[in-house]
Amino acid sequence: MAKRPTITDLARVSGVSVATVDRVLNNRLPVKEETARRVYEAATEIGYHAAGLIRQRMRQELPEYRLGFLLLRGNDIFYGDFARELELAVSQSQRFRGVATIDFAASLAADEIAAQTRRLAAKSRAVAVVGPDHPTLTATVEALKARNVPVFSLLSDFAAGIREGYVGLDNRKVGRTAAWMIAKAARKPGKV
């Protein structure tokens, strides 16, 4: 049976002293984030038994954020997969400890999406929403911005100039690309 890695082995592989490894493990004194990360990576590499503890200690210092996501059609395979990926990305963030709250729109009506966005924003640091470009939703985004709650439009752009950002395709570029492809691939002129 192979010998279990020791603190000395971990110090040697990570390129730091035994005292530094002890500080990372026991949170005795501050250690640079880069050094703690190097110790964690070495612990994972050699199979050190307390690698999980090191990762947990590194994350203790990070701020905690609750992020809200409002998606469409909860029974849709795409949105179900998208929700799982969002949860995974938030939970694995290296910059913060995050909790993703994911809701699905009860209907596609702009006033219902706006109401759900307000409810989600009441318990979130920031929200990202899939919704229509509609005056009701724009007014909601404006009100949330006044309360310092950032709102991001997801997949479909809305509230341009008011929302914090847009995560999705650049539809103008997509259109230009489609037009270029049709112009190059079409053998003769016709209706599109």
Report the alpha-carbon distance of residue 165 to residue 129 in Å, rounded. 11
Q: What angle do CA 105, 111, 117 make, to 5 degrees?
A: 50
Q: CA 116, 122, 123: angle at the middle one, nearest 5?
A: 105
The whole-number pLDDT of residue 118 equals 97
Task: Show me where the domains of the chain are located.
Answer: 7-60, 64-171
At 186, give phi and psi (nearest 5°).
-70, 135
Q: Please tell me the predicted confidence (pLDDT) of residue 55.
A: 79
Q: Could you say which DSSP state residue 147 is in?
A: T
The 3-class secondary structure across 58-85, one letter per residue, is HHHCCCEEEEEEEECCCCCHHHHHHHHH
pLDDT by residue for the chain (192 residues), tens digit each? 368 888 899 999 999 999 998 888 887 777 887 888 888 889 889 999 888 888 777 777 778 899 999 999 888 999 999 999 999 999 888 788 889 999 999 899 999 999 999 999 999 999 999 999 999 999 999 999 999 999 999 999 999 999 999 999 988 899 999 989 988 888 887 776
Q: What integer pLDDT is reported at residue 96 of this predicted model?
A: 86
Determine the Cα angle at 61 with ends 57 and 66, to 5°.
110
Give the pLDDT score at 66: 94
CA neighbor of 6 nearest in space, from 47, 57, 53: 47
CATH number, span 64-171: 3.40.50.2300
Q: What are phi and psi of 63, to 5 degrees?
A: -70, 150
